[in-house]
Amino acid sequence: MPKPLRRTRSKPVLWPPSPRLPAVDMAKLTAEQQVLVEAIKSGPRGRFSNDGPFAVYLHAPKFGQLAQQLGAHMRFGTSLPPRLSELVILFTAQYWKAQYEWAAHAVIAAKRGVKEATIRDLQAGRSPKSAPRDEMAVYSFANELYAKRRVSDATYARAHKLIGDAGVVELVGILGYYATVSMVLNVFRMPAPGDKAPFREPLMH
Protein backbone atom coordinates (compact mmCIF):
# COMPACT_ATOMS: atom_id res chain seq x y z
CA MET A 1 0.00 0.00 0.00
CA PRO A 2 1.27 3.54 -0.74
CA LYS A 3 2.46 5.41 2.33
CA PRO A 4 2.12 9.14 3.03
CA LEU A 5 5.20 11.04 1.93
CA ARG A 6 4.25 14.31 3.55
CA ARG A 7 1.12 16.24 4.36
CA THR A 8 0.02 19.30 2.44
CA ARG A 9 -2.72 21.74 3.42
CA SER A 10 -5.27 19.67 1.53
CA LYS A 11 -4.40 16.00 1.99
CA PRO A 12 -1.42 13.64 2.22
CA VAL A 13 0.67 13.06 -0.88
CA LEU A 14 1.24 9.36 -1.46
CA TRP A 15 4.34 7.62 -2.74
CA PRO A 16 4.19 5.73 -4.94
CA PRO A 17 1.07 7.46 -6.23
CA SER A 18 -1.85 5.09 -6.64
CA PRO A 19 -2.83 4.29 -10.25
CA ARG A 20 -6.03 6.04 -11.28
CA LEU A 21 -7.47 3.03 -13.08
CA PRO A 22 -8.30 -0.31 -11.48
CA ALA A 23 -6.34 -3.32 -12.67
CA VAL A 24 -8.29 -5.35 -15.22
CA ASP A 25 -8.92 -8.94 -14.14
CA MET A 26 -7.19 -11.04 -16.78
CA ALA A 27 -9.62 -13.88 -16.11
CA LYS A 28 -12.59 -11.69 -17.01
CA LEU A 29 -11.54 -10.01 -20.25
CA THR A 30 -14.14 -8.85 -22.74
CA ALA A 31 -13.87 -10.05 -26.33
CA GLU A 32 -12.25 -6.74 -27.38
CA GLN A 33 -9.77 -6.89 -24.52
CA GLN A 34 -8.85 -10.46 -25.42
CA VAL A 35 -8.24 -9.44 -29.03
CA LEU A 36 -5.88 -6.70 -27.82
CA VAL A 37 -3.97 -9.06 -25.52
CA GLU A 38 -3.56 -11.66 -28.27
CA ALA A 39 -2.45 -9.04 -30.79
CA ILE A 40 0.31 -7.88 -28.46
CA LYS A 41 1.38 -11.45 -27.66
CA SER A 42 1.54 -12.43 -31.33
CA GLY A 43 3.40 -9.28 -32.39
CA PRO A 44 7.09 -8.43 -32.14
CA ARG A 45 6.91 -7.90 -28.36
CA GLY A 46 6.07 -11.57 -27.94
CA ARG A 47 4.23 -11.23 -24.64
CA PHE A 48 1.61 -9.21 -22.81
CA SER A 49 2.25 -7.66 -19.41
CA ASN A 50 -0.67 -6.15 -17.50
CA ASP A 51 1.22 -3.05 -16.45
CA GLY A 52 2.49 0.19 -17.92
CA PRO A 53 0.66 1.51 -21.00
CA PHE A 54 -0.87 -1.85 -21.87
CA ALA A 55 -2.74 -1.97 -18.56
CA VAL A 56 -4.23 1.40 -19.51
CA TYR A 57 -5.02 0.31 -23.07
CA LEU A 58 -7.18 -2.52 -21.72
CA HIS A 59 -9.66 0.11 -20.49
CA ALA A 60 -10.11 1.38 -24.07
CA PRO A 61 -9.22 -1.67 -26.18
CA LYS A 62 -10.14 -0.20 -29.58
CA PHE A 63 -7.79 2.72 -28.94
CA GLY A 64 -5.29 0.30 -27.41
CA GLN A 65 -5.27 -1.86 -30.53
CA LEU A 66 -4.41 1.08 -32.77
CA ALA A 67 -1.88 2.44 -30.29
CA GLN A 68 -0.05 -0.84 -29.86
CA GLN A 69 0.10 -1.37 -33.63
CA LEU A 70 1.71 2.04 -34.09
CA GLY A 71 4.01 1.40 -31.13
CA ALA A 72 5.14 -1.95 -32.50
CA HIS A 73 6.07 -0.30 -35.79
CA MET A 74 7.79 2.65 -34.13
CA ARG A 75 9.90 0.37 -31.96
CA PHE A 76 10.59 -2.57 -34.28
CA GLY A 77 9.73 -1.58 -37.85
CA THR A 78 11.47 1.68 -38.74
CA SER A 79 14.65 2.21 -40.72
CA LEU A 80 16.42 3.70 -37.70
CA PRO A 81 18.96 1.48 -35.94
CA PRO A 82 17.51 0.27 -32.60
CA ARG A 83 20.30 2.11 -30.80
CA LEU A 84 19.04 5.44 -32.11
CA SER A 85 15.38 4.58 -31.52
CA GLU A 86 16.07 3.65 -27.91
CA LEU A 87 18.08 6.80 -27.33
CA VAL A 88 15.20 9.06 -28.39
CA ILE A 89 12.73 6.92 -26.41
CA LEU A 90 14.87 7.54 -23.31
CA PHE A 91 15.08 11.24 -24.13
CA THR A 92 11.29 11.36 -24.32
CA ALA A 93 10.89 9.42 -21.08
CA GLN A 94 13.22 11.84 -19.30
CA TYR A 95 11.51 14.90 -20.76
CA TRP A 96 8.14 13.70 -19.45
CA LYS A 97 9.61 12.07 -16.30
CA ALA A 98 7.71 8.93 -17.31
CA GLN A 99 8.82 6.49 -14.63
CA TYR A 100 7.70 3.24 -16.27
CA GLU A 101 8.96 4.20 -19.71
CA TRP A 102 12.44 5.00 -18.47
CA ALA A 103 12.70 1.89 -16.31
CA ALA A 104 11.58 -0.33 -19.18
CA HIS A 105 13.78 1.19 -21.88
CA ALA A 106 17.01 2.01 -20.04
CA VAL A 107 17.81 -1.71 -19.95
CA ILE A 108 16.84 -2.15 -23.61
CA ALA A 109 18.92 0.87 -24.67
CA ALA A 110 22.02 -0.55 -23.00
CA LYS A 111 21.50 -3.87 -24.78
CA ARG A 112 21.13 -2.03 -28.12
CA GLY A 113 24.48 -0.31 -27.68
CA VAL A 114 23.78 3.02 -25.97
CA LYS A 115 26.67 3.71 -23.60
CA GLU A 116 25.99 3.65 -19.86
CA ALA A 117 27.52 7.14 -19.60
CA THR A 118 25.04 8.40 -22.20
CA ILE A 119 22.14 6.81 -20.33
CA ARG A 120 23.28 8.50 -17.11
CA ASP A 121 23.55 11.87 -18.86
CA LEU A 122 20.08 11.51 -20.34
CA GLN A 123 18.55 10.55 -17.00
CA ALA A 124 20.12 13.63 -15.41
CA GLY A 125 18.81 15.85 -18.22
CA ARG A 126 22.31 16.56 -19.57
CA SER A 127 23.55 16.57 -23.13
CA PRO A 128 25.48 13.32 -23.68
CA LYS A 129 29.22 13.98 -23.43
CA SER A 130 30.59 10.89 -25.15
CA ALA A 131 27.84 9.84 -27.56
CA PRO A 132 28.78 9.13 -31.20
CA ARG A 133 27.91 11.51 -34.01
CA ASP A 134 24.66 9.83 -35.09
CA GLU A 135 23.34 9.74 -31.53
CA MET A 136 24.15 13.41 -31.04
CA ALA A 137 22.34 14.25 -34.28
CA VAL A 138 19.07 12.62 -33.21
CA TYR A 139 19.48 13.89 -29.64
CA SER A 140 19.87 17.48 -30.90
CA PHE A 141 16.85 17.03 -33.18
CA ALA A 142 14.68 15.73 -30.33
CA ASN A 143 15.92 18.32 -27.87
CA GLU A 144 15.26 21.21 -30.24
CA LEU A 145 11.86 19.93 -31.32
CA TYR A 146 10.63 19.55 -27.73
CA ALA A 147 12.14 22.85 -26.59
CA LYS A 148 11.14 25.05 -29.54
CA ARG A 149 8.30 23.09 -31.24
CA ARG A 150 10.29 23.56 -34.42
CA VAL A 151 13.61 22.32 -35.87
CA SER A 152 16.16 24.62 -37.49
CA ASP A 153 17.54 23.99 -40.96
CA ALA A 154 20.95 23.13 -39.51
CA THR A 155 19.57 20.61 -37.02
CA TYR A 156 17.33 19.08 -39.68
CA ALA A 157 20.19 18.80 -42.17
CA ARG A 158 22.44 17.15 -39.59
CA ALA A 159 19.90 14.40 -38.91
CA HIS A 160 18.82 14.09 -42.54
CA LYS A 161 22.38 13.51 -43.72
CA LEU A 162 22.61 10.45 -41.49
CA ILE A 163 19.13 8.90 -41.68
CA GLY A 164 17.52 10.30 -44.84
CA ASP A 165 13.94 11.31 -45.64
CA ALA A 166 12.24 8.20 -44.26
CA GLY A 167 14.43 8.20 -41.17
CA VAL A 168 13.53 11.77 -40.24
CA VAL A 169 9.81 11.06 -40.72
CA GLU A 170 10.15 7.98 -38.52
CA LEU A 171 12.19 9.89 -35.95
CA VAL A 172 9.35 12.40 -35.55
CA GLY A 173 6.92 9.48 -35.34
CA ILE A 174 8.90 7.82 -32.55
CA LEU A 175 9.03 11.07 -30.59
CA GLY A 176 5.30 11.61 -31.04
CA TYR A 177 4.29 8.06 -30.14
CA TYR A 178 6.41 7.88 -27.01
CA ALA A 179 5.24 11.33 -25.94
CA THR A 180 1.72 9.88 -26.10
CA VAL A 181 2.82 6.84 -24.08
CA SER A 182 4.47 9.10 -21.52
CA MET A 183 1.30 11.17 -21.12
CA VAL A 184 -0.74 7.99 -20.69
CA LEU A 185 1.66 6.75 -18.02
CA ASN A 186 1.76 10.06 -16.17
CA VAL A 187 -1.95 10.83 -16.25
CA PHE A 188 -2.93 7.39 -15.01
CA ARG A 189 -0.01 7.22 -12.54
CA MET A 190 1.46 3.99 -13.78
CA PRO A 191 4.45 3.17 -11.56
CA ALA A 192 7.84 1.89 -12.58
CA PRO A 193 8.35 -1.86 -12.14
CA GLY A 194 9.06 -2.55 -8.47
CA ASP A 195 8.07 1.04 -7.62
CA LYS A 196 11.72 2.09 -8.08
CA ALA A 197 11.21 5.51 -9.61
CA PRO A 198 14.09 6.79 -11.76
CA PHE A 199 12.86 10.39 -11.37
CA ARG A 200 11.60 12.42 -8.47
CA GLU A 201 7.83 12.52 -8.70
CA PRO A 202 6.33 16.04 -8.63
CA LEU A 203 4.16 16.61 -5.56
CA MET A 204 0.62 17.09 -6.80
CA HIS A 205 -2.75 16.85 -5.06
> What DSSP string describes 68-124?
HHHHHHHHHTSSS-HHHHHHHHHHHHHHHT-HHHHHHHHHHHHHTT--HHHHHHHHT
pLDDT average, residue stretch 157-176? 98
pLDDT tens sequence across 132-146: 999 999 999 999 999
State residue 6's pLDDT score.
Answer: 45
State residue 15's pLDDT score.
Answer: 57
How many Cβ atoms sit within 10 Å of the Cβ of residue 73? Answer: 16
Instruction: Look at 168 and 195; give whichever has higher pLDDT.
Output: 168
pLDDT tens sequence across 119-131: 999 999 999 999 9
Q: Is the dihedral of CA 69, 85, 192, 199 positive or negative?
A: negative
Q: Is the dihedral of CA 190, 196, 197, 203 positive or negative?
A: positive
Instruction: Look at 142 and 205; give whichever has higher pLDDT.
Output: 142
The yes-or-no verdict on residue 155 having pLDDT over 70 is yes
Residues sharing a CB contact under 8 Å with residue 78, sequence separation 6 or more, in sequence order = 85, 167, 170, 173, 174
Average pLDDT of the residues of the chain = 92
Rounded Cα gap, residues 17 and 151, in angstroms: 35
State residue 7's pLDDT score.
Answer: 44
- Residue 175: pLDDT band by 50, 70, 90 thresholds? very high
pLDDT tens sequence across 176-197: 999 999 999 999 999 998 768 8
State residue 12's pLDDT score.
Answer: 45
- Which helix (DSSP H) or strand (DSSP E) does residue 14 occupy? strand 12-15
Overall residue count recorded for the chain in this entry: 205
Asked if residue 139 lies in contact with residue 127, where contact means CB atoms within 8 angstroms, the answer is yes
